[in-house]
Amino acid sequence: MIWFFLAVFALLAGMALPTQFSINAVLRSQVVSPYLASLISFFIGTFVLLVVTLTLDKGLKIHKELFQQPWWIWTGGVLGAFYVLATIVLIPKLGAANTIAYILAGQIFMSIVIDHFGLIHVPVHEISLPRIGGAILIAAGVILVQKF
C-alpha cells in the first residue's frame, strides 16, 4: 500500500515539472531575463520551504556535523538552479514536450550510470539488458516526440 502512495506522489511530482517549467517560461517573458526568472522561482520556493520547515520540523536544526560532510553535498542547490534555468531557456525554444523528452532521456542515462557504479551513496543496480532496453525505448520516445 505504501508503494502505491509513493508511486502516486512520484507521478504528481512528474506532472508538476512541465507545469513549473511552463509557468517559469511565462515568468521569464514578463521579467525578460532567464536569470531573474530563476531567481524569483527559487526565492519563492525557498520561502515556502522555510515556512514548511518552521511549521512541520518545528524550527531549523543544523548540527555542527553537517559542516564536516563532503563538499559535494552542497552542490544539489547548484544543480537545481541549473535545472530551473535550463528549462526556462529551453521551453520557449523547444516547447514543453521536447524539453521534457530531452530532460527525461538525460535523467534515465545518468540514473543508470549512478545506479551501476553506486555513485553518491546510491545502492548498486548493475546495468542489464532490460535496463538498456528501457533506455532505448525512452530514447525512441524522445525521437518520436521531437519529430511529431
**Per-residue model confidence as pLDDT tens digits over 51-95:** 999 999 878 888 888 889 999 999 999 999 999 999 999 999 999
pLDDT band at 143 (very low <50, low <70, confident <90, very high): confident
Cell numbers for 136, please give them: 532505448
Largest Cα–Cα separation, the chain: 53
Nearest-angstrom CA–CA distance, 26 and 68: 40
Look up residue 94 and give its three cell numbers: 523547444
Could you give the CA distance from residue 23 to residue 102 in angstroms, rounded to a whole number?
19
Reported pTM: 0.82
